Each structure stands twice: as structure tokens, then as C-alpha cells.
Structure 1
């Protein structure tokens, strides 16, 4: 497994590998639980990646049953999976492992129907966006800190910064929030980030009409070392994780349709410059 893998991907890879080994050994999940005197459902939870930190003793017990398994490989995965991820310090902000997958991704493709991508937001924009609703001031402050921490992945200088392809809509540039200076700073930040070699920003104009991603925020993550990709769908009600290959491929195709319908990076930059000029 690549050294670039963080705890989230290591945990996911360990869960998948344990299931592969069990199937190869010819056991059902309940048979393994019975042999180890575990409560039924424990192996199923492991294989579904429904755990926080795998216990090394459990991994060794499973390796003993799954003849031919590489204990060293499993222990390495478990060791990485047990690392304390920064986003675990924000349980009230993150209800799932989204920031872990985002941090471990080598490629991020995102469609934002109405707001700007969290990875490209300025602090005043965050403040305006998070002020809407009934959250407490304490929660909002924590959420902003967490979002700023997420953005650090684009600044990694060790060759692991992900490739970000973001499609935003013209509507997201039309909202009035803060003052003109705040908006100018945000749009100038978008322009500056779009000039980075690992960032591609495209604008979908209102004149381009309806498109498949208008009702849902779509994030597509790809990972180093051939780790299977996954999709996160977000709306006001919930977040859905998708890792079934055919479904991921379908969302890839939708994303590419939207990307091709949007302005080119150069035309997007020119559009941003025009918007910025109206705020001066």
C-alpha cells in the first residue's frame, strides 16, 4: 500500500482485504465469529468498515484463521488505520469520514450547484455561509476552523497535493453577501487558485440551461495505488457514500458532461475578472 495512504483509506483497505481473505478461506462471517467466540455481527462490521480503530489483537486472531494471509501486511494496514486523524477532533462538524477520504485523495472532482467549493472558500465567505441557520456561534467557529484545516491539502508540498477539478455555477457568483470588498476578495481567491497547476476551475453559466448536477453536490474521489474510487453526494438532508464501481462510473460520466458544458478554465478566469471589475 502506498505511503500516501492516510488512516481513512488504510481502514477501508483493511476492511476489504479481510473480506477477501475470509472468502478465499471458505468461511462465512458467522463461522469466523463462532470460531473466535465473538458476538455475531463483529466480522460483518469489520468488513463493512464500520469501526473506528481496528484492534491489533483482533487482526492477529483473524490472520491465524485465514491461512495464507500476510500478517505483516494486515498489521501495517491496521497500524495506519489506527492513526489519529485530525478531523476526529471535530465530531460535531463531521458526521462521516468525508474529510478523511478528501485528505487521502489524489484526485478530487466536485460539482457545486449553488455555493463555492469548501476547499476554495475565503474566511468571510465561510462566515456568511455558516451564519445561515440555527447553529450556535461555537459550532460555527469550529466549522470554520475545520474547513480551513481541510484546505491545507491543496498546499501540501511533498507531491501529495490532490488534483482538484471544480465546476461552479454562475448563480454562486450572484448572491449578495458581506460587502463588495469581501466578494471581490473571494472571487480574486478563486482566480488565484485556478492558476495553480493542480487546480482546474470551470464555470457553468445560467445561459447553459439545466444540467444533471443541479440538485446535488457531487464529490468524486480517486486515490493513489489503485485504491477504488468513491463518490459522496450531499444535499440538505444527508450525505450518501457510493463505491459500487458501475455507480461511480455513472457519476464520472455525469461529471464529464457537466465539465464539457462549462466554460474552459481560460474563459472561466476571464469571467471572474469581469465580475471582480464590477466590485471595484
Structure 2
């Protein structure tokens, strides 16, 4: 087994530290990227991008590399530090926002929260407060999130589809009036020609995106990227093979969701059932 190096104590930021460790381990083994790919799986180009710091990959590929190099979970620990690094998250998210603004079509799956482009200010505020924001920072973030709705409202706005897990619609705001307003906004947005809303019932069971929010963006040149977000981190996925794999999972989820018409009726029923009196 290779000598295990300390995870902490280096001046490098987590992403660079992770990439360097991958390079050192492979060079120490004396194998090529193709050689690693032949044993571990995945494309050799994926490992090259990970060693160059262009992508972090996913937990499955990192666990496979841990087994290949015999590093006892060290690589997975470094990967977790890298994906959770606030500076890296902000930089990736800034890049995502640029791509979102340029997108000609977008499609999305939500596990527990409405996508930002469909949120009312009150929904955005309660969600961001739950994440620890307050004061001026909270106000700025709410304004920025609500401003993203202009993407869909513009005359030449992108085509947008979202599949909402039923859990999203079963998680109301604390204020009943604000929750009704959010449901009404959702129903109204679903009437737009460039917006398709579908609901995935809980009875559909487990699927390939059970714990993963994902937004696909197709740019003017036809290239598609994905923003994948879990409860603790987000990652901009640009590698074609990985995006294709996510798209296949998405297609299978869409196949089991209610149709747009059935989903509209589901949301309207929830709106009828939502209490009218304000919370006390």
C-alpha cells in the first residue's frame, strides 16, 4: 500500500490538493491514464480532467480509485473537502449563472425545493433563512433569486421543463397565505408556452435521481452541461459522458411522472386544499 500522506497541513486549496494526490498516486504506480481506465473503468479523459483540476468527478469514481490505489478512503475524504470548499462552490456557481443566462433550453428535477426560477420572494426568503442568511445578505440573495424569473418571462425566454417530486409540494411555507401565493404562481407559470411542469408522485418509488437536484442547460451552440446539487454541495458537470448518464436517469424519471395536464390538475387540487386563513 502506498504511504498515506497527511490530508491536512498543506497550503493548497482542496481542489488542487485532490488533483495533486491523484497525479502522485498514478505516477507512483507507473501507469498511464489509459492503464487506470482499463482497470477502474470510465474514460481515460475523465481521469485526466480530474488530475488537471478541471472536474472533481463523482463519489463512485473516487471510491473506485481508492480501491485501485489502496488508499483506504483518503481520496474520498479529499474529494469531500474539495466539493464542500466554499470558494470552489462560489466559483462554480458563478459559472453556472453565466451559462443559465445564455441557455436556450433548460430542464430540471427537484427533490425537495422549487427551482429558483419558479420561487416567489416569500418562498425564497424562507428557504434562504433556513440556510442561515439574514439581514442585508438575505435581502440581496432574495432579490437575485427573484430576478432569475425574468429569464422565463422574457418574450424570447428559454424553454423550461421541471419535474417536481411530490415532496416539493408537500413542504409548505410556514405562512399559509404565502404558500397559497406560491402555489398560485406555480400554476400561472405552468400556463406559459415555454414552461412545462410535471409532478413525480412518491408512489413512483426509488429512481436514479432520488437524492439529486439537477438542472440541464443547453447553450446556443448546442452543448449541454448540468448543475448537480445535493444537500451539502453543488457541481458543474461538463464532461459529455457524465452529462449523458445523468440525462438517461432524467429521461427515466420523466417517463414515470404525471403528464403536464395531470400535473396541472394536481397543483390545482393542492391549491384548493391549502387553508386560506393566515398562520397564527
Normalization by structure 1: what TM-score? 0.64
Whole-Å separation in 2 of the counterparts to 1:131 and 1:178: 12
Does 1:132 find its partner at 2:127?
Answer: no
> Which structure 1 residue ranges, 5 or more long, are not aligned?
1-46, 50-90
**1:253 aligned to which of 248, 259, 262:** 248
Aligned to 2:192: 196
Whole-Å separation in 2 of the counterparts to 1:217 and 1:245: 19
Does 1:105 find its partner at 2:103?
Answer: yes
Does 1:171 find its partner at 2:167?
Answer: yes
Secondary structure in structure 2 of the residue aligned to 1:178: coil
Change (3 A) 1:176 1:165: closer
Change (3 A) 1:203 1:231: same
Does 1:148 find its partner at 2:143?
Answer: no
Query: Superposition RMSD on alpha carbons, in Å?
Result: 2.4
Whole-Å separation in 2 of the counterparts to 1:165 and 1:217: 13
Q: Deviations over 1:5-43 (max 9, x none)?
A: xxxxxxxxxxxxxxxxxxxxxxxxxxxxxxxxxxxxxxx
Does 1:231 find its partner at 2:229?
Answer: no
Q: How many residues align?
A: 192
Whole-Å separation in 1 of the counterparts to 2:257 and 2:165: 9
Q: CA deviation at 1:100?
A: 0.9
Q: CA deviation at 1:236?
A: 2.8
Secondary structure in structure 2 of the residue aligned to 1:164: strand
Paired residues of 1:109 and 1:164 also in contact (CA < 8 A): yes
Secondary structure in structure 1 of the residue aligned to 2:148: helix
**2:218 aligned to which of 199, 215, 222:** 222
Q: CA deviation at 1:94?
A: 8.0
Change (3 A) 1:223 1:92: closer
Q: Deviations over 1:136-160 (max 9, x none)?
A: 3222111101101211111122x3x
Paired residues of 2:107 and 2:162 also in contact (CA < 8 A): yes
Whole-Å separation in 2 of the counterparts to 1:93 and 1:240: 10
Whole-Å separation in 2 of the counterparts to 1:215 and 1:95: 20
Does 1:119 find its partner at 2:117?
Answer: yes
Change (3 A) 1:115 1:177: same
Whole-Å separation in 1 of the counterparts to 2:254 and 2:108: 10
Q: Deviations over 1:208-262 (max 9, x none)?
A: 1112112111011101233x21111112322211112121111111111111111
Whole-Å separation in 2 of the counterparts to 1:96 and 1:143: 13
Q: Deviations over 1:48-105 (max 9, x none)?
A: 99xxxxxxxxxxxxxxxxxxxxxxxxxxxxxxxxxxxxxxxxx989843111111111
